[in-house]
Structure 1
C-alpha cells in the first residue's frame, strides 16, 4: 500500500507537551464498529467494557536511554534502542557522519562507549566500558528519551522521569513508553476489578524504531526494527481461557497488541513467547489474538497509524482522526486516548 494513504495534517497545537493530571482524566474517543464516534474520558472505561473482558498491559520500564557525548571535538548524540548483550546496545546516532568504527565516545559522569560496528540502517553498536551494569550508567548519565515532537519543544526535566513511566513499569529495557497505559491509576484499576474486568501483563521492550515515520513510498518496502518481548505460559493460558469463556482480549497499547499477535497461532491461541518480534501490521491483516485496542493518537504515515487502520479500517480511522482534531483531542505520547472496538465476528 502507498504510505501516503496514512498521511494527515495535524495542527502543532494539538501535540501534548505534558500529560493531564490526574492521568485518568484524559479524553478518550470511543470508536465502536460503525457506530457514531463517542466522547468519553479514560475513567469511564469500566462502563465501556463487560465483565470477563481482559485488558493486557506492557510492564516494560523506560530507561534513560538518551546520551549526549563527545568524540574528540565532535558532539555526538546517542539513543539506545535495543540491547544486544550485557555491555552492548544498538543505538541511533546523531551526527553519525563524525563517528567511525573504533571511536570512543565520552558521555560524562565516567561513562564511555566504543562505536563497535555500524549497521546498514546507520545505527551503531555501542560497547560500554567498565563493569557496572549499563542501566546504572544510564541512570547517571542518561536522559529520558522523549519523542522529538516533545523534546524539540521543551527540555526534558525531572517531571518526565515519572510522567513518562506507567504504573505497571517493572522490567527495565524500553526506550519509549507504552503510552496507552500512562492513563491508568490505582483508582481506575480498582474500578475495573469491581466491574469484573481482568488484567494481564506481558513485556515488550519498546524500541525507538517503532515510532519512526515510514520513509519508503510503499509499505512493502519498509523494514521494521526488531524488539524483544515475552509472554509467560501462565498469562497465555489465562488469556486463552478468558477468550474461550466469551471475554474479549483488549490490548492496552500497540506494543501489547503486536506481541499478542506475534505469539498467536493460526487458530488464535496465544502461545508462550520469548524472543524478538518485527511484526508489521497493515490493512488486510487478519487479527488472531485481540478483540480491541486502547491506544493514543499516532503520527501520520507511521507503522502505528497503519496498525490501527488494519484493525478498524483506513477510512474509518482517518475519519476518527479528523473528528479528534476538530474536537480538540490532544495527540501523541502525552496526549489523549482512544478505545477501538471492531465488530466482533461470530464464532
Structure 2
C-alpha cells in the first residue's frame, strides 16, 4: 500500500479577501483524497487553517501576535474546521480521524512508536487521518513552527511514498514570480541539486499563514532525506494530485534519496530537538563520517550548551559546520571533564565506569552521508 501525505495551507483553504473558507477548493480536495483512498492509497491530510477560521469566527481584522491568543483562537477554529471536513467527507462515505500533535509527541521514542502504530491502524481501517499541530497546548520552544515542517515529519513518521505541499503557486521558481518577473520555473530537483539550491524568496507567506517557500524547501529537504518524493503544486487545483501520480509533469518534484536512513536514525535526526553542540577535531570528523565509527571523547574539542545525558546534540567540525547529530551518553558537565582524553581514562576522571563512547554509531546520524545518498 502506497502512502500519501497531503498538506494544505491557510492561503489555499480560505478566500484571500473575505477569509471565508474556500469551500469549492475544500470539496475538490476531499473528492480527490477519497478517490485516492478508494484506489488503495493510505492517505494523510495535514491541514492548516484553525487560527484563520477562529479569527473569522470572531471577526478579527488581523492574525493574533501573542502565543496565548493564537492558542485560544486555534481552539475556536479547530472544531469548526473539523466539522466542515467531517460533513464533506461523510457525504462521500469516507471516515476520518483527528490527530493533534506537538513536537514533544515525536521526541519520546515510545510516543513516536505509538503514533506510528495509531496511523497504521487507521490506514487498515480505511480512515483518513487529519493532522494539525496541537496549538492549544504547544509551547513556543517546542512548536513545529509551521505545517510544512509538520507534514514532512508526519511523512517521515508514517514512511510515506509521497508528500504533496499544496500552496498558492503552481511550482517552485528560481525567484518569487510575484516580485521577479523573469523567474524561471523549476520542474524537477535531485537530492544533490536540493543541497545546493539557492532561491530568491519573498516574505514568509500570506498574512494569514505561517509558511512560505523557505519553509517548503526545508520540508522538502527533510522529507526527501527520509526517502519521500515531495511535490510543490497549486492548492486550488487539488485534482492535479491524481494527474501527478499518473506521471504528468505538474508542479515541482523533489526526488528522494535512494538510500534513506533507518527508522531509528530518522527519529534521531528529525524527531528530536538538539539541546547542545559538540565540536570535534579533523580525526574524529574523518572517523565518524568516512569510517562509520562512534564518537570518542578524545576527538571532542569544545562543548556548547547545557544538557543531561541521553539528549540529542549537533556534532560540528573544526569550521563549525554540522556534520552529524546523535544522542550523547554523558551530560555537558561530564563532557567538560573528559573532552580530549582517551576512553580508558574516563573512569578515573569521573569516578565511575561509564560508556566508552560519547555517541555510539547506532545513535549517530551523519549529515554528509544522508545528503550525498
Q: Normalising by structure 2, what TM-score?
A: 0.26
Structure with the higher fraction of residues in strand conformation: 1
- Structure of higher RCO (CA pairs closer than 8 Å, 6+ residues apart): 1
